[in-house]
Structure 1
Amino acid sequence: IPIADINTELVDKVNFSKVADYAISLMNDFSSGKYDKIEIIYNQFRNAAIQILQTEQYLPVPKAASSIQKKKGNTSSTVHDFIFEPSKEEIVKELVPKSLKVQLFKAVLDSIASEHGARMTAMHKATDNATELLRVYRIQYNKARQTAITNEILEIVGGAEALKG
Protein backbone atom coordinates (compact mmCIF):
# COMPACT_ATOMS: atom_id res chain seq x y z
CA ILE A 1 0.00 0.00 0.00
CA PRO A 2 1.62 3.27 -1.02
CA ILE A 3 1.79 6.08 1.49
CA ALA A 4 0.41 9.21 -0.15
CA ASP A 5 1.03 11.74 2.61
CA ILE A 6 2.91 12.06 5.88
CA ASN A 7 2.13 15.07 8.01
CA THR A 8 4.35 15.64 11.03
CA GLU A 9 3.69 19.38 11.21
CA LEU A 10 0.47 18.78 13.15
CA VAL A 11 2.44 17.81 16.26
CA ASP A 12 4.88 20.75 16.19
CA LYS A 13 2.46 23.17 17.80
CA VAL A 14 -0.75 21.29 18.45
CA ASN A 15 -3.75 23.34 17.47
CA PHE A 16 -7.28 22.04 16.88
CA SER A 17 -7.98 24.43 14.02
CA LYS A 18 -4.83 23.29 12.19
CA VAL A 19 -5.83 19.64 12.65
CA ALA A 20 -9.42 20.42 11.61
CA ASP A 21 -8.19 22.11 8.42
CA TYR A 22 -6.09 19.06 7.60
CA ALA A 23 -9.08 16.78 8.31
CA ILE A 24 -11.19 18.86 5.90
CA SER A 25 -8.53 18.55 3.20
CA LEU A 26 -8.45 14.76 3.73
CA MET A 27 -12.25 14.60 3.49
CA ASN A 28 -12.20 16.69 0.31
CA ASP A 29 -9.49 14.51 -1.26
CA PHE A 30 -11.48 11.39 -0.39
CA SER A 31 -14.73 12.88 -1.74
CA SER A 32 -13.04 13.91 -4.98
CA GLY A 33 -11.79 10.34 -5.50
CA LYS A 34 -8.12 11.12 -5.00
CA TYR A 35 -8.00 8.37 -2.36
CA ASP A 36 -10.03 5.16 -2.09
CA LYS A 37 -9.22 4.70 1.56
CA ILE A 38 -7.50 6.78 4.21
CA GLU A 39 -5.90 5.25 7.29
CA ILE A 40 -4.20 7.10 10.10
CA ILE A 41 -1.19 5.62 11.87
CA TYR A 42 -0.25 6.96 15.28
CA ASN A 43 1.08 5.93 18.69
CA GLN A 44 -1.70 5.35 21.19
CA PHE A 45 -0.71 6.44 24.68
CA ARG A 46 -1.28 3.85 27.44
CA ASN A 47 1.20 5.12 30.02
CA ALA A 48 4.68 6.61 30.13
CA ALA A 49 6.29 3.23 29.43
CA ILE A 50 3.77 1.81 26.94
CA GLN A 51 2.80 3.29 23.60
CA ILE A 52 0.94 1.15 21.07
CA LEU A 53 1.26 1.67 17.33
CA GLN A 54 -2.29 2.03 15.97
CA THR A 55 -3.66 1.96 12.45
CA GLU A 56 -7.26 3.11 12.09
CA GLN A 57 -9.42 3.41 9.04
CA TYR A 58 -10.29 7.08 8.74
CA LEU A 59 -12.26 7.16 5.49
CA PRO A 60 -14.58 5.68 4.42
CA VAL A 61 -16.06 5.76 7.90
CA PRO A 62 -16.27 2.17 9.18
CA LYS A 63 -19.80 0.89 9.75
CA ALA A 64 -20.95 0.34 13.31
CA ALA A 65 -20.97 -3.23 14.61
CA SER A 66 -24.76 -3.20 15.08
CA SER A 67 -25.45 -2.44 11.41
CA ILE A 68 -23.00 -5.18 10.36
CA GLN A 69 -24.81 -7.69 12.60
CA LYS A 70 -28.19 -6.79 11.05
CA LYS A 71 -26.82 -7.41 7.54
CA LYS A 72 -25.50 -10.81 8.57
CA GLY A 73 -28.95 -11.81 9.78
CA ASN A 74 -28.18 -11.64 13.47
CA THR A 75 -31.33 -10.10 14.93
CA SER A 76 -30.63 -10.97 18.55
CA SER A 77 -30.38 -7.31 19.50
CA THR A 78 -33.49 -5.18 19.82
CA VAL A 79 -33.90 -2.55 17.12
CA HIS A 80 -35.66 0.67 18.10
CA ASP A 81 -37.16 3.17 15.72
CA PHE A 82 -36.45 6.76 16.62
CA ILE A 83 -37.73 10.00 15.21
CA PHE A 84 -34.83 12.24 14.24
CA GLU A 85 -35.14 15.99 14.10
CA PRO A 86 -33.57 17.15 11.78
CA SER A 87 -33.44 14.11 9.51
CA LYS A 88 -30.88 11.30 9.92
CA GLU A 89 -29.09 12.47 6.78
CA GLU A 90 -28.72 16.03 8.07
CA ILE A 91 -27.46 14.80 11.43
CA VAL A 92 -24.93 12.50 9.77
CA LYS A 93 -23.89 15.26 7.37
CA GLU A 94 -23.21 17.53 10.36
CA LEU A 95 -21.74 15.06 12.85
CA VAL A 96 -19.46 12.92 10.67
CA PRO A 97 -17.09 15.78 9.74
CA LYS A 98 -16.95 16.90 13.39
CA SER A 99 -16.32 13.34 14.51
CA LEU A 100 -13.54 12.92 11.94
CA LYS A 101 -11.89 16.16 13.08
CA VAL A 102 -11.99 15.01 16.70
CA GLN A 103 -10.71 11.53 15.74
CA LEU A 104 -7.71 13.05 13.98
CA PHE A 105 -7.10 15.47 16.86
CA LYS A 106 -7.20 12.55 19.33
CA ALA A 107 -4.61 10.71 17.21
CA VAL A 108 -2.37 13.80 17.26
CA LEU A 109 -2.75 14.22 21.03
CA ASP A 110 -2.08 10.51 21.62
CA SER A 111 1.08 10.72 19.50
CA ILE A 112 2.30 13.76 21.42
CA ALA A 113 1.56 12.15 24.79
CA SER A 114 3.34 8.98 23.62
CA GLU A 115 6.39 10.96 22.57
CA HIS A 116 6.53 12.78 25.90
CA GLY A 117 6.05 9.49 27.78
CA ALA A 118 8.85 7.82 25.83
CA ARG A 119 11.14 10.80 26.43
CA MET A 120 10.28 10.83 30.12
CA THR A 121 11.03 7.11 30.41
CA ALA A 122 14.31 7.51 28.51
CA MET A 123 15.38 10.44 30.70
CA HIS A 124 14.51 8.48 33.85
CA LYS A 125 16.64 5.54 32.67
CA ALA A 126 19.47 7.93 31.73
CA THR A 127 19.30 9.50 35.19
CA ASP A 128 19.42 6.07 36.83
CA ASN A 129 22.40 5.08 34.67
CA ALA A 130 24.21 8.34 35.44
CA THR A 131 23.60 7.85 39.17
CA GLU A 132 25.04 4.33 38.98
CA LEU A 133 28.09 5.56 37.02
CA LEU A 134 28.61 8.32 39.57
CA ARG A 135 28.55 5.72 42.37
CA VAL A 136 31.09 3.50 40.55
CA TYR A 137 33.41 6.42 39.72
CA ARG A 138 33.20 7.74 43.27
CA ILE A 139 34.33 4.34 44.60
CA GLN A 140 37.19 4.21 42.05
CA TYR A 141 38.23 7.76 42.98
CA ASN A 142 38.19 6.99 46.70
CA LYS A 143 40.24 3.80 46.17
CA ALA A 144 42.83 5.69 44.09
CA ARG A 145 42.94 8.48 46.67
CA GLN A 146 43.35 6.01 49.52
CA THR A 147 46.15 4.22 47.62
CA ALA A 148 47.94 7.54 47.03
CA ILE A 149 47.63 8.51 50.70
CA THR A 150 48.87 5.08 51.83
CA ASN A 151 51.88 5.27 49.47
CA GLU A 152 52.72 8.77 50.69
CA ILE A 153 52.61 7.64 54.32
CA LEU A 154 54.80 4.64 53.50
CA GLU A 155 57.37 6.92 51.82
CA ILE A 156 57.43 9.26 54.81
CA VAL A 157 57.80 6.38 57.27
CA GLY A 158 60.45 4.74 55.04
CA GLY A 159 62.40 8.01 54.81
CA ALA A 160 62.25 8.48 58.59
CA GLU A 161 63.50 4.91 59.15
CA ALA A 162 66.36 5.47 56.69
CA LEU A 163 67.44 8.60 58.60
CA LYS A 164 67.46 6.68 61.89
CA GLY A 165 69.39 3.94 60.71
Structure 2
Amino acid sequence: HIMEPDRATIVEQIIPKSLKVQLYKALLDSHAAEHGARMTAMHKATDNADSLLKELKLTYNKARQASITNEILEIVGGAEALKG
Protein backbone atom coordinates (compact mmCIF):
# COMPACT_ATOMS: atom_id res chain seq x y z
CA HIS A 1 0.00 0.00 0.00
CA ILE A 2 1.07 3.53 -0.76
CA MET A 3 0.85 5.87 2.18
CA GLU A 4 -0.97 9.09 1.40
CA PRO A 5 -1.16 12.04 3.77
CA ASP A 6 -4.50 13.01 5.19
CA ARG A 7 -6.54 15.90 3.83
CA ALA A 8 -5.35 18.42 6.45
CA THR A 9 -1.67 17.72 5.69
CA ILE A 10 -2.25 18.14 1.97
CA VAL A 11 -4.04 21.46 2.52
CA GLU A 12 -1.27 22.66 4.87
CA GLN A 13 1.33 21.96 2.19
CA ILE A 14 -0.57 23.11 -0.89
CA ILE A 15 -1.86 26.49 0.36
CA PRO A 16 1.61 28.01 1.03
CA LYS A 17 2.94 26.63 -2.26
CA SER A 18 -0.08 27.95 -4.13
CA LEU A 19 0.39 31.37 -2.55
CA LYS A 20 4.07 31.41 -3.54
CA VAL A 21 3.19 30.46 -7.12
CA GLN A 22 0.53 33.18 -7.32
CA LEU A 23 2.92 35.82 -5.97
CA TYR A 24 5.63 34.71 -8.38
CA LYS A 25 3.17 34.89 -11.28
CA ALA A 26 2.15 38.42 -10.23
CA LEU A 27 5.83 39.40 -10.15
CA LEU A 28 6.39 37.97 -13.63
CA ASP A 29 3.26 39.69 -14.98
CA SER A 30 4.43 42.99 -13.54
CA HIS A 31 7.86 42.54 -15.09
CA ALA A 32 6.34 41.71 -18.48
CA ALA A 33 4.03 44.75 -18.28
CA GLU A 34 7.01 47.00 -17.53
CA HIS A 35 8.86 45.69 -20.57
CA GLY A 36 5.75 46.16 -22.70
CA ALA A 37 5.40 49.77 -21.56
CA ARG A 38 9.07 50.46 -22.29
CA MET A 39 8.76 48.90 -25.73
CA THR A 40 5.71 51.04 -26.52
CA ALA A 41 7.49 54.18 -25.31
CA MET A 42 10.54 53.39 -27.46
CA HIS A 43 8.36 52.79 -30.53
CA LYS A 44 6.70 56.18 -30.00
CA ALA A 45 10.06 57.87 -29.48
CA THR A 46 11.39 56.29 -32.67
CA ASP A 47 8.31 57.39 -34.62
CA ASN A 48 8.66 60.94 -33.24
CA ALA A 49 12.36 61.02 -34.15
CA ASP A 50 11.57 59.84 -37.69
CA SER A 51 8.91 62.53 -38.04
CA LEU A 52 11.27 65.22 -36.74
CA LEU A 53 14.00 64.04 -39.11
CA LYS A 54 11.64 64.34 -42.09
CA GLU A 55 10.64 67.86 -41.03
CA LEU A 56 14.27 68.90 -40.58
CA LYS A 57 15.26 67.49 -43.98
CA LEU A 58 12.39 69.38 -45.61
CA THR A 59 13.39 72.62 -43.86
CA TYR A 60 17.03 72.10 -44.85
CA ASN A 61 16.14 71.41 -48.48
CA LYS A 62 13.92 74.52 -48.65
CA ALA A 63 16.69 76.69 -47.18
CA ARG A 64 19.23 75.16 -49.56
CA GLN A 65 16.96 75.77 -52.54
CA ALA A 66 16.37 79.39 -51.45
CA SER A 67 20.14 79.90 -51.18
CA ILE A 68 20.70 78.46 -54.67
CA THR A 69 17.92 80.65 -56.08
CA ASN A 70 19.48 83.75 -54.49
CA GLU A 71 22.89 82.89 -55.95
CA ILE A 72 21.39 82.47 -59.41
CA LEU A 73 19.55 85.80 -59.09
CA GLU A 74 22.79 87.51 -58.05
CA ILE A 75 24.67 86.02 -61.00
CA VAL A 76 21.94 87.00 -63.45
CA GLY A 77 21.71 90.46 -61.89
CA GLY A 78 25.48 90.91 -62.18
CA ALA A 79 25.44 89.78 -65.79
CA GLU A 80 22.62 92.20 -66.59
CA ALA A 81 24.52 95.03 -64.91
CA LEU A 82 27.58 94.30 -67.05
CA LYS A 83 25.48 94.39 -70.24
CA GLY A 84 23.86 97.48 -69.62
Q: CA deviation at 1:154?
A: 0.5
Distance 1:139 1:149 in 2: 15
Distance 1:92 1:110 in 2: 26
> Secondary structure of the equivalent of 1:86?
coil
- TM-score between the two structures when normalised by the length of structure 1: 0.48
Distance 1:159 1:146 in 2: 20
Aligned to 2:13: 94
Q: CA deviation at 1:159?
A: 0.7
Q: CA deviation at 1:136?
A: 1.1
> Secondary structure of the equivalent of 1:154?
helix
Indicate the structure (1 or 2) with the bigger Cα radius of gyration.
Answer: 2
User: Which structure shows the bigger proportion of residues in strand conformation?
Assistant: 1
User: Which structure shows the bigger proportion of residues in helix conformation?
Assistant: 2
Distance 2:76 2:18 in 1: 86
Q: CA deviation at 1:117?
A: 0.1
Q: CA deviation at 1:88?
A: 1.0
What's the C-alpha RMSD, in Å, of the aligned pairs? 0.8
Runs of 4+ that moved beyond 4 A: none
Q: CA deviation at 1:111?
A: 0.5
Distance 1:134 1:88 in 2: 68
Q: CA deviation at 1:104?
A: 0.7
1:2-151 equivalences under 5 Å are 85-151=4-70
- Structure 2 residues without counterparts, runs of 5 or longer: none
Q: Deviations over 1:24-76 (max 9, x none)?
A: xxxxxxxxxxxxxxxxxxxxxxxxxxxxxxxxxxxxxxxxxxxxxxxxxxxxx
RCO greater where, 1 or 2, for CA within 8 Å and sep 6 or more? Answer: 1
Counterpart residue type for residue 98 of structure 1: K
Distance 2:5 2:75 in 1: 101
Q: CA deviation at 1:129?
A: 1.0
* Residues paired across the two proteins, number: 81
Distance 2:50 2:6 in 1: 65
Q: CA deviation at 1:128?
A: 0.7
